[in-house]
Every structure is written in C-alpha cells, then in structure tokens.
Structure 1
Amino acid sequence: MKNMKKPLLFIGCMFLSILAFSQDSGDYNFNMAKGEVAYYNEEFDKALDYFSKAISIWDSVKDDPDGLVLAYNARANTYIDLGEYDSALLDLGKSIELNPDHYEAYYIRGFISLDLGKYEDALADYRKTVELKKDYTNAYINMSYILNLLNKYDESIEAVKYALELDDSSSRAYKNYANALIGKKAYDDAVKMLQQAVNLDEEYEEGFFLLGKLYLRKKEYYLAVENLDKAIELNDEREDAYYVRGIVYFQQENYKKAVEDFTKAIEFGPENAQAYYYRSQAYLALGKEAESNDDMEKAKALSEEMGGYTLDFHDPVLAEVTNANNVRTEKTNETDVTVDAGSDETNELIVDNVVVVNTNTTEPKNTFDENKIIEPVTIKPEPLMELDPALLYDSPETEAEKMYRLGIENLGKHLFLAAISNFSLSVVLDPASAKAYNGLGLSFCLTGSNYGDAFNNLNKAIKIDPQFPYSYCNIALTYYKTKDYKNAVYHIKKAIELKNEYSKAYFIYGMILDEMGKKEIALTKYTKALKINKNWGVLYTKPEVLIARANLFISQEKYDLALSDFKMAVKLKPNMLEGYTGKAFIYMKQKKYESALKEYDYIISKDPKNYLVYYHRGLAYSMLKKYKEGIKDFNKSISINKDFANAYIGKAFAYKNMGIVKFAIRDLMIASDKGSKEAKKYLKTIFDVDY
C-alpha cells in the first residue's frame, strides 16, 4: 500500500513546507526541512523529533494554524511508516480540527483506513478530499481501488475516468479500470485497459499475467504465451504463471512443454494440487503412465491435506478432459459450482471470487491406450456461471486456508499489518494450525517493533508442532532482530537440524554470524543457501542472499566476487536497486567511471528523488573531467537535500578544477556552515581562507 501514498505525500508536504519558508519562523522552517530530509532517508524517529519541535515552535509564536496543519500532517505521515496508526490518527484529527478544509489530512487518513480494511471510512475520506481539491488525481485512483474491493464496479469506473481526465499517463488508473471491467465480466475491454497499463509500466508483472489468462480464455494462445513469458521474465519464480502457461501448452497439445511448466509450478508451489493433476494428464498423453499415476496420487493427497476435498477441478480453462477411446470422460458438473463475490489484493489489481466445490465428486481415473493420445482439451460453454479468470489456478480450500494464503501474499508485498489481520483470522478459524501461528509470528517480527507478539505466536507454533522447522527459523530471525545472537544461533541450528535443505535458514544463519563479526563462517552459510537453492522464504530469497554475500565480499575488498554477486542478483530480480548501487560502487573503486555512470543512470530512472545517487554520479562525471555535468548533478542533489554538505564540496572542487575559484570558495563556505569540518579544512589548506 505504501506505494500508493508515499511519493505524493512526501512531495506534497515538502512543497507546502517550502511555501512556509517565506514566513518569519526560521527555527520552525529548519526543523520542518530537517524532518523532511530525515523522512526521505527513512530515519523516521529523527523525523518525528524534528516535526514535534516544529509543532512546539509554531504553537508558541504563531496565531494562524497553517504551520501547525503542515507539521501535524507530516508527523502523521511519519507515524504511518512506523506502523503507529493510532498516533497518526490523533495528529490528523488535530489537523482537521485546525483547518477542516485542508484536503491533505483527509487523504492521509483515507490511506490508514484503507490499510486497516475499513473501506467505507477510507472512501468517505477520499470523497472529502476530491470535494476540497477536485483535481487530486491520486484520490480518484484510490477511490476506484476501494470501490473495486467493494464490488461497486460502475462507481469505480466513474472515479477512474475522472482520474484519467486529469492524468491519462497513470498506469495505476488503467490497472484499476481493468480490475473493474474484469469484475463486470467485460473481458475484452479489460484486455484493452491492461494493455494500456503494461505499456505505461513495463514492469507490471501482474498485468502481463492477467493478460495471459484473459487471452487463454479467448483461445488466443499465442498472445497468452507471449504475455505469460513476460510475466515470468519479470519474476522467474512465479508459480501461477508457469501453471497457467502449462495450461496453454496443454490446450495446444504441446504436452512436453506443459509438463515442463507444471514441473516449474510445482517447484515453486509444492502444494499446488492442480499442477500435479494436470501434469498427470500431460504425462498420460505422453505415454508415461507410471509418472501420471504418481502425480494423481500426489494431487489427491494434497487435496485432502487442504481440507478433505476430493479432487474435482472446476476450471473453465479445462472444462473437459477426454481420452481418445472415450473409455471415460471427465466433465465439470457445473451445477456444483457457485460463485460468491469477494476480494483479494495484488499490487493494485483486486478481483477474486470464492469457488465452492461439491466434495462428493468422484476423482478422475487414469486410463491409457498406448496406440492413441488424449484428444485436444476444449473450452466448454458455461450456462450457469462464469468463473473469474483470476482464479484459474486456485484449488478448493477452507476459509482458514484462504486467510493463510492471503497472509502469505501480503507478506510478499510488505503489507505486514494486513498479513497480521489475515493470519489472526486463520488461527481463529483453525487454532491447531502451526503454519498460521508461524505466519502471524513472522508478520509481527517484520513490523520491526512487535517482537513480543512475534515470540508469543512462534512459540505457540512450536508447541503445536515441535518438528516444524519454519517456526524455529523465524524465531531465530526475531532473536537476530533483537540482537540476542546466542538464542538466534540456537534456534537456527534447530531449524537446520529439522530441515537441512533449507536455504532461508542458512541465509539467516549467515546474517547472524555476519552481525557477530564472524565473516568467514557467515560466507560459508550464504554460499550454502545459494547451493541448496530451495525452500526460500517469501522475503528472504536468492537475490537477497547474493546482495548480502556481495556486501560481505566488499568488506573483504574482494571486489570482483562482489561484482559477480551483484550482477546475478539484478539478473534474478531486475528491479532490485541495491544490486545496481553495489555495481556502481565497485566500478567507482575500480575507476571504471563510464560503467558506473550507466548504473547511476538506471538507478535515477527508477528512484529520481535519491539525492545520494545524483551526488555519486556527479563524482563520476568529475572524475571524467566532465565538470559541467558534475555540477548539474551536485545541484540536483542539493535541490533534494539542501543540507547535504558533501554535494557543496563536490561542486566546489568541480569549480576549482574549472578555474572558478570564487564559486569554489563560496560552496566550501556553505558546506562549512552546514557543519562540514572537511570543508573548513579545505578552505584553509587549499585557499588559505580562515572561516
């Protein structure tokens, strides 16, 4: 959810604070500026201190409420990032009380309600926002998002049309538009909106995935594969994309490729019963009856584990499977399927239905004639219902299991409060579920503050199942975060003892040892995690291990090895900016300045508000004697962070090398004023200026 508020709120607060600079309140302005810089650098505790000081200063010297409103809003925004919603709501209440017509407070409060699942409250605040500021594009987009969650698709479309009138280049608007159209079963129009979304956001993985499923529904198999290929290119560990592409190949009678994709789906989703089921059918078509029977047994076992359902895959993509002899025909019994509108959340696209399956259906039985193959699978008309394409890979599951899976999805999106809500409901519905308590404990751990709740729930998971390795791993992570390394080591060893082929456990073991200063042993654990390369966590994956190992290599000045790891990390996860930052750092160390420039260019294209990247790119330009370009970047860095003294120093040396001494001295004086002892030293040693 954070990506829905952070850029706009930060820029909005910064802009309004800059306006306040014109008023005669120097201390207030200083603290607001410092707070905004700290917030941008994610130093949230410091930001709180600065904003609180600004509130105190303004309250004592000013009669009008404008400065207080700005400061309360900024502090509320910071509380949100710390997960302290109650404190944020108090500040927003004060802001609204001081100025009921200030739209920003309603917008921020709407975000809190949205993240807490209070959709009607959020909707009311966003409506108030656009009432006060009719051209607030993001408020319309968020309204559309919520209306989709509430299945009010016509109202959602109306809101998103307003947004597109204001900004027709918003990929989020097209995503929400497509979502509403899918809800209305207007799939052809949804395809058009998704195409707009992926054209504007080439890394919109979910968009390519949904396009693949919609084209599959339309029997346009080439386009289905093309879009699923792109989804997998963006995330080559995406289970459902492999699964659906396997369905496409199955439809095309390309059973060999279907087997390959179902195998990948099983690799990344070992509990995907449907992947086993359809791989069994593909094996059957290839004449591999033994493999087919093994997969069918596995599918049955998994289905029973997930709630006692007998396998009966009601999927409009595979409505009928018939063998060539017509010995047995398996059809979906459409009268046994009901649809109940619900909601699920991806990055910004929310469409879901709940499928209720008759548990008395007889399981399909394998039959095979070695002289013939299974005939092509066809899509049958569905006279009584039309299943949402977003559920093509879902299998029946209990409500507890559904909440558990939603929790896992939200963990992957860093929506830890939403995950806590999901897992909490899961344990209420199934109090004997070790994995649900494990997910709840991990979610509390990852909030960065609720470690007591993390320990409590993880210990409950261990009590329910003392042989559950994942809980030992996550309790070790919690001890690591609380700097209790002795207990962290004990529990991570226990996790590995129970599950030796466990990459996440070795990764966390490496982190613990790295923090303890045992670099060489940590290196062996990172390497072991990579060698095993399975049983990763939702957040602790192969690219993160590569980054951790690369940073360890840097500390040992093994730059070539570090560079290799950074390169592999960004290959596996192209949007991982830490990898590009690491590569640039090493290129600068190796004096490969042109190579460093390419990395900085890419980082800036993805993170244009990062003042440090502009600073480092300025240094790279300066080392290449491109001083004008360097000065331009130093100025850009300063425009984002006016208190960043090093940018003034970099600019001063660029002017010095150009022979413009006056400007060089001026910028060193400014840097000195901002607290740089180095700048004062350079003034004396280079220019013989006492300052």
Structure 2
Amino acid sequence: MPQKRRSRSWMELKQVGNDCFKKGQYGEAADLYSQAIKELEKTGKMNPEDLSILYSNRAASYLKDGNCGECIKDCNVSLELVPFGVKSLLRRAAAYEALERYRLAYIDYKTALQVDCNIPAAHDGTNRMTKVLTEVDGLSWREKLPPIPTVSLAVKERLAQQAAGNTKPPAQQHNGSRQTHGSAPSAQNIKKGQILKEEGNALVKKGEHQKAIEKYSQSLKHNPTEVTAYTNRALCYLSLKQYKEVIRDCDNALAIDSSSVKALYRRAQAHKELKDTKTCIEDLNSLLKVEPKNTAALKLLQEVQKKK
C-alpha cells in the first residue's frame, strides 16, 4: 500500500511560501500562506504574532500581484492581531496609494514613522502623498485627513522587543553597549548622546559644520529620538547646501515631533532651494499654525509667494 503523505505544518507551509515569494511566484505564495493560516487555526494554539505575520505575508503576495483590495483586507486582519505592525502598515499604505486613496495612504505612512522614524519607504511615501494631496486639496489638505493614530511608547517598546526576537541580535557597538533599533534609548545612551550633541553645537559656533555633522550623527546613534540633534544637523547640511539631507533630517524630526518649528522652517528652506515652492509654502503654513507670529517664517513666506 502506498504510504499516506504527511501533511505539512503551518511553519513548513510558511517557509515554502516565503521561498516562492522570493522567486517571484506570488500566486503560489499566497496559496501556501492560505494553507498555513488554516493549519495554524486547526492547532487551536494560535499566537497572534504568528497569525499576523501570515496575513501580512499573504498581503505582500496580493500586493505584488496587483490585488490591492485583498491586500488591504489581509493587512486589516494583521493589524487587528498586532496593532501598528510596520510591514502591514507599509503594505496597506502602498495598496491605498495604488488605489488613489491618498489620505489613507498618508495616515499609514505617518503611523509607520511613529513606530520607527528611520524607514526610508515611509519617508518617501509621506513625501509623495504630501505632494499629491496638496495638488488635490490645496494648502488646507491636512484639515481633510482622518485622525492619525497615536503610537504610545509602550507599544513602540513591545514592537521593538518582538522584532528583536525575530531577528539576529543587534551588532555590538564600539562602546560595548547594545542598542535595539526602534527601542527606547537607555539613560546611559541618552547622556552620551547629549554630550556629543553639545560637542556638535560647539563646532557649529566655530563654523565647522562638517565636523559638527559627525558629532550629531554619533549622538543620534546613542539616542535616535533626540529631535534637536536632527534639526541641528539639518542646519549644518543647509550651510553645506546638501538640501536632500536637510529634508531627510527634518522628516525624522517631524516624525518624532510633528510641531517642531525648527524642522518645519529648515525643511521649508531646503524646499525653496530645490525650487519646490508648493511644498515650501505648505511647510511654512504648517509652522505658522504652531507659531502664527514667527517673523522668519512670515518673511520667507512673503518672499516665496512673490516668486510664484
């Protein structure tokens, strides 16, 4: 008699699905993830994180195949199981963007940046949506957005711990400490970051902007949540006419503090130099909502509007 074929576990099905995805076989990958979901549900010992990953993986397969509706449905389930999962947020944002649901895409990109402010895809997506929404809704586009969820520090720490459990341990730093990407910095790292930032400030006063950038970069390795290190480094980049770097640093600062006046002003200056008048004006208007009598912003706004 032929031997009965052993049914594959959900973990085996997930692995084969991952292999298919890497080969570009997205339809097959989606089928395998569907089987894995059924097998995991059969066990009756469902871990929300495991199930969330399977739905998120299947969402990625649907997205690659252009099935944006199913991608969004799976991301919704994944995010119900594990709120603020970055991969699901980014996949749902990409699907919304493809369906021209730009406001919802913007919300997801911005939410992902609250979890981890160092995600290039989220920064790029936010910038694209900002430009599109400005064209569609004018300068008041922010008023038409749904509320952006607030990601608490406790949630960020939990997600960072989960990520650390699913990946290799973070690399040992030269000072012997370990820093988990996206986690809250230790008191020791905050102190070291502050010292390096102050050293950067001293170099700025001497006009040594390149050396100051190096100090701020070292500071941010110790404490990536320090807004002023980003805005101070942005000021140095402005002096060196490295405008894209200015925008990147201001984006990072604003992901941490959306009302940072310095970040909005310096990003506006960079957009002005890059001839992106619309975005420059938008940043200045956002700044003036925070500080209506900011003379530097009012002066720059008047200057830019004259050139339109």
Category of TM-score, reference length = shorter chain: 0.3 to 0.5
Work out which structure has the larger RCO, using CA pairs closer than 8 Å and 6 or more positions apart in sequence: 2
With the length of structure 2 as denominator, give the TM-score of the two structures: 0.45
With the length of structure 1 as denominator, give the TM-score of the two structures: 0.21
Larger radius of gyration: 1
